[in-house]
Amino acid sequence: MSRATYNRMRHTFRHKMDLKSEWVILHRIAILANIEPVQYDCCINSCIAYLGKYEHHEACPFCTESRYTSKRRPRRIFTYLPLIPRLKAYFQNPEIIQQLSYRHNYKHTPGQFADVFDGSHYCDLLHTPVVIDGVERPYKYFSGERDIAFAIATDGYLLFKRHRSGPSANPMLVQILNLPPQIRTHLRNLLCLGIIPGPKCPKDMASFCVPLDDECAKLAYGVSTFDAIDQACFDLRAYAIQEHGDIVAIERLLGIKGHNGMCPCRSCKTLGVRDITNNGRVYYIPLTTPNVQRQTRPSVDPRALHLRTQEDFDSVLRQIHATETKTARTSLEKRHGIKQLPAFRRVGSLDSAKSYPWEWAHLFCENIIPNLVSLWTGKYKGLDTGSEDYEIDPKIWEQIGLETKKSVAEIPAAFVRVLGNIAEDRSTFTAESWGFWFMYVAPIVLHGRFKKDKYYNHMRALSNIMKTTLKFEITAKEIDNLEEEIIDWVKKYEKYSLSHLYLTRSLISNRYYYQYREDRLSTCVLTIHGLLHIARDIRVSGPMNVTWTFYLERFCGILKMALRSRSQPWSNLSKRNLHVAYLNQISIKYQLDKDPSATDYRGDELRRNEVKYSGCK
Ligand SMILES: [Zn+2]
Ligand SMILES: [Zn+2]
């Protein structure tokens, strides 16, 4: 309800009820919720927050815009909602205390991966002393029954329309991993600590993370908290063990140079290759080096990738710190792909090499699948098909579009929302649409549509890989098999081979997309390489369905619906987020059955093109 509507209602019914002004009500709600937002100055273009090393700066070091107005007021504000009071409030609600005990009661079965608590990173932490600012504490991670594990998530999203140049925002979310997986990603259980304002993605995201990093340190020391069941105080400890987000956000949080760089992968030290002949500046990351003499990087064995470790990160950062000239520093940064300390660095529970799993939705649904479709429709970075013939005839593709649209018309909405004509308009395809289409629709509508069946078989193999990665429970043996299937898939994606068939004396080509050609390096993007790390990530962090970020997308969508102001979208969003946090906190503290924030207000309401059949439960 808008303020004007509220005031009109207040005026109309003034003879029947005494409604307080919006300001008074909000003030009372704020007192009840006991959440104190903290405001920090940030750059008008949101390059940095004036925190940490920028605390005393008067102007932004990236865009040189001044910090203050002529009246010495900050030009833009980042509102941060502290995490500690919100975690403490959980222990005032006996029902939530029970739910939080899921972590402590979880029984890990060796060789079985069903949750983050089966991942080796968490299991190793159980035997590791807590480290804060490099100093060891006399207790181990998660030694307390009530210790909380959480994941930090961030992702950039566009505010108004699907236009890459439009203004964006980056919400900073916390997912409480102690809660059972069935309710962990419900909107009321996600804590949004702040929305990093746009218009663009921050240049130094770490500066916005300083308040949370400091809170992580306080939580690792322990915060005195009252427990409503025991009716006594205890030291609440909480540790971040994972970070979720899109590829760019993770690169910024990790402090690495990332995609397009010489050492682009966050998980391994494989060097990239650029198109030297055409003076290409972007580095790609194929396994097999292009088949020309001037390319000197040796080809890479996918079974022996040189994985990064926390010690590697620390050692490179020490070397960079010790350099005396800018040239030497730049050269080191380029060679190792690391440029600065990670955003969250005070507590040792986050490991730069293990806490940043590759994420399902961004990897498959927003990169690999759309790229494959672009290849099949001849719209991939201006490339032709090389010496191959994997493109689908436009008329057949149009038919596939119609079949796609028709195929989902009667599938219950719980499985997938309405899909448009993929041949006419791909912009309506969300990550969820791409995922469903590729796993369940594409194997049918693409059958017999390629000029050669090998492309179809290759596509089916990826579809099966995706299904395996989504298993709720996956065994060590299945992960080993998955690893081999992925290696086979990536090798084929790159493949170029000619074999001579002696009987018919003809040449049989067995080539796919990259064909080991220097001018086709752009097919070997980082996301294809990222596939090679999935199996290890499951072993370290748990199955992909507990580390994916669909919840983040959903949260952004809900937040976007509440957006009213086009001139001040970020303060509008921050205010909305604060009000949701107030109501959420009140519902937790006072044990209200239903979340009064009603963020999921759509409920059972049918969406456009959805039908409810009579007799359907
Ligand atoms: Zn700036
Ligand atoms: Zn890698």
Task: Taking residues 487-492, report their average pLDDT.
Answer: 90
pLDDT for 314 equals 94
3-class DSSP state of 5: helix
Identify the top-confidence range among 190-199, 278-287, 477-486.
Answer: 477-486
Ligand nearest to the CA of 65: 1
Compute and round to an integer the Cα radius of gyration of the chain.
Answer: 26
Please give the distance of CA 24 from its chain centroid, rounded to a whole number.
Answer: 38
Q: How far is the CA of 65 from the centre of ligand 1 (A)?
A: 6
Average pLDDT in the 300-316 region? 93
* Residue 594 confidence class, pLDDT cut points 50, 70, 90: low
In the chain, count of helices (H) and strands (E)?
Answer: 22, 15
Mean pLDDT along residues 196-212: 89
The full 3-state SS of 326-344, as one line of letters, equals HHHHHHHHHHHCECCCCCC
18 contacts: CB under 8 Å, gap ≥ 6 = none
Mean pLDDT value across the chain = 87
Q: Are 474 and 538 in contact (CB under 8 A)?
A: yes
CA of 270 to the centre of ligand 2 (A): 6
- Distance between CA atoms of residues 333 and 548, nearest Å: 29
Give the per-residue pLDDT at 89: 92
Residue 194 C-alpha to ligand 1 middle, in angstroms?
A: 19
Q: Which residues of 535-568 are buried (b: 16+ CB within 10 A; e: fewer)?
A: bbbbbbbbbbbbbbbbbbbbbbebbeeeeeeeee
Q: 61 C-alpha to center of ligand 1: Å?
A: 7
Question: How far does residue 533's CA lie from ligand 2's centre (Å)?
Answer: 6
Mark the residues whose beta carbon lies below 5 A from ion ligand 2: 265, 267-268
Q: Residue 250: which residues within 8 A CB-CB, separation 6 or more?
A: 243, 266, 356, 359
Nearest ligand (C-alpha, residue 47): 1
Confidence of residue 62 (pLDDT cuts 50, 70, 90): very high
pLDDT band at 243 (very low <50, low <70, confident <90, very high): very high
Task: Identify which ligand lies nearest to the alpha carbon of 256.
Answer: 2
Burial pattern 373-400, b for ≥16 Cβ within 10 A else e, equals: bebbbeebeebebbebebbbeeebbeeb
| Distance of CA 559 from the midpoint of ligand 1 (Å) | 25
Q: What is the pLDDT of residue 556?
A: 82
What is the distance in A from the centroid of ligand 2 to the CA of 266? 6
Give 526 Cα–ligand 2 centroid separation in angstroms: 8
Which of the four pLDDT bands, split at 50, 70 and 90, describes residue 168?
Answer: confident
* Rounded average pLDDT over 179-186: 93
CA of 250 from ligand 1 middle (Å) equals 20
Amino acid code (one letter) for 345: R
CA of 50 to the centre of ligand 1 (A): 10
Q: How many Å lie between the centroid of ligand 1 and the Cα of residue 64?
A: 6
Contacts with 87 (C-beta within 8 Å, 6 or more apart), sequence order: 148, 219, 223, 225, 236, 238
- Ligand 1 centroid vs 429 CA: distance in angstroms? 33
CA of 353 to the centre of ligand 2 (A): 11
| Cβ-based neighbours of 378, under 8 Å, separated by 6 or more | 384, 385, 391
Looking at residue 587, its pLDDT comes to 86
Say which ligand is closest to the CA of 308.
Answer: 2
Task: Give the model's confidence band at 423: pLDDT under 50 very low, under 70 low, under 90 confident, else very high.
Answer: confident
Distance 120 CA to ligand 2 centre (A): 19
Q: What is the pLDDT of residue 359?
A: 93
pLDDT value of position 517: 83
Cα–Cα distance for residue pair 397/435, rounded to 1 Å? 19
Angle at 171 between CA 569 and CA 162, to 5 degrees: 60
- Predicted confidence (pLDDT) at residue 504 exceeds the cutoff of 60: no
Alpha helices in 106-170 (DSSP H): 120-125
The C-alpha atoms of residue 256 and residue 340 are separated, in whole angstroms, by: 7
CB 187 within 8 A of CB 555: yes
DSSP summary character for residue 186:
S
Q: What global pTM score does this model have?
A: 0.89
pLDDT digits (tens, 9 = 90+) for 72-124: 999 999 999 999 999 999 999 999 999 999 999 999 999 999 999 999 999 99
Instruction: Give the pLDDT confidence score for residue 617 in this predicted structure.
Output: 58
Ligand nearest to the CA of 531: 2
Q: Tell the burial category of 265 from Cβ atoms under 10 Å away from its Cβ (0-12, 13-18, 19+).
A: buried
Residues 352 and 254 sit within 8 Å (Cβ to Cβ): yes
pLDDT tens-digit map of 511-556: 778 877 888 888 889 999 999 999 999 999 999 999 999 998 888 8
**Candidate from 65-79, 193-207, 262-276, 384-398 with smallest mean pLDDT:** 384-398
Reduce the secondary structure of 216-229 to three states and give it as a string.
HHHHHHCEEEEECC
Give the separation between CA 270 and CA 525, rounded to whole angstroms.
13
What separation in Å is there between the alpha carbon of 529 and the centre of ligand 2?
A: 6
Q: For residue 75, give the ligand nearest its CA.
A: 1
pLDDT of residue 583: 86
Q: Which ligand is nearest to the CA of 202?
A: 1
Residue 66 CA, ligand 1 centroid: distance in Å: 8
Q: Out of 135-139, 423-427, 485-489, 505-509, which region has the weakest mean confidence (pLDDT)?
A: 505-509
Q: What is the whole-number distance in angstroms between the Cα of residue 486 and the centre of ligand 2?
A: 13
Question: Cα(203) to centroid of ligand 1, in Å?
Answer: 8
Q: What does the pLDDT average to over 427-433? A: 86
- How far away, in angstroms, is 94 Cα from ligand 2 center? 44
DSSP assignments along 405-432, one per residue: HHHTTTS-TTT------TTT--TT--HH
**Which of 61-65, 126-130, 233-237, 521-525 has the weakest average pLDDT?**
521-525
Q: What mean pLDDT do residues 214-235 have?
A: 95
Supply the pLDDT for residue 226: 94
Res 307: pLDDT: 95
> Tens digit of pLDDT for each residue in 437-483?
999 999 999 988 888 888 899 999 999 999 999 999 999 999 999 99
pLDDT in tens, 361-388: 999 999 999 999 988 888 877 777 666 6
- How many angstroms separate the alpha carbon of residue 317 from the centre of ligand 2? 19
Ligand nearest to the CA of 64: 1
Question: What single letter denotes the amino acid at residue 227?
Answer: D
Q: Identify the nearest ligand to the CA of 529 by its number.
A: 2
Residue 492's pLDDT band (boundaries 50, 70, 90)? confident
Q: How far is the CA of 214 from the centre of ligand 1 (A)?
A: 23
If you measure from the C-alpha of residue 59 to the centroid of ligand 1, how many angstroms do you get, rounded to a whole number? 8
pLDDT confidence bin for 614, thresholds 50/70/90: confident
The CA 324 to ligand 1 mean position distance, Å, reads 27
- Ligand 2 centroid, distance to 459 Cα (angstroms): 22
Q: Answer for the pair 151, 253: CB distance below 8 angstroms, yes or no.
A: no
CB of 320 closer than 8 Å to CB of 256: no
Is the pLDDT score of 415 beyond 90?
A: no
Distance (angstroms) between ligand 2 centre and the Cα of 530 equals 6
Q: How far is the CA of 527 from the centre of ligand 2 (A)?
A: 10
- Residue 216 clears pLDDT 70, i.e. is over it: yes
Averaged pLDDT, 544-570: 82
d(CA 540, ligand 2 centre) in Å: 15
Q: How confident is the model at residue 503 (pLDDT cuts 50, 70, 90)?
A: low
Is the distance from CB of 280 to CB of 287 less than 8 angstroms?
A: no
Say if residues 47 and 62 touch (Cβ distance below 8 Å): yes
Nearest ligand, CA 48? 1
Rounded to the nearest whole angstrom, what is the distance from the C-alpha of residue 195 to the centroid of ligand 2?
A: 30
What is the percent of the chain with per-residue pLDDT over 70, rounded to a whole number?
A: 91
Q: For residue 256, report the distance from its CA to the centre of ligand 2, in Å.
A: 13
Instruction: For residue 56, report the distance from its CA to the centre of ligand 1, in Å.
Output: 15
* Averaged pLDDT for residues 240-262: 91
What's the confidence (pLDDT) of residue 422?
85
pLDDT band at 574 (very low <50, low <70, confident <90, very high): confident
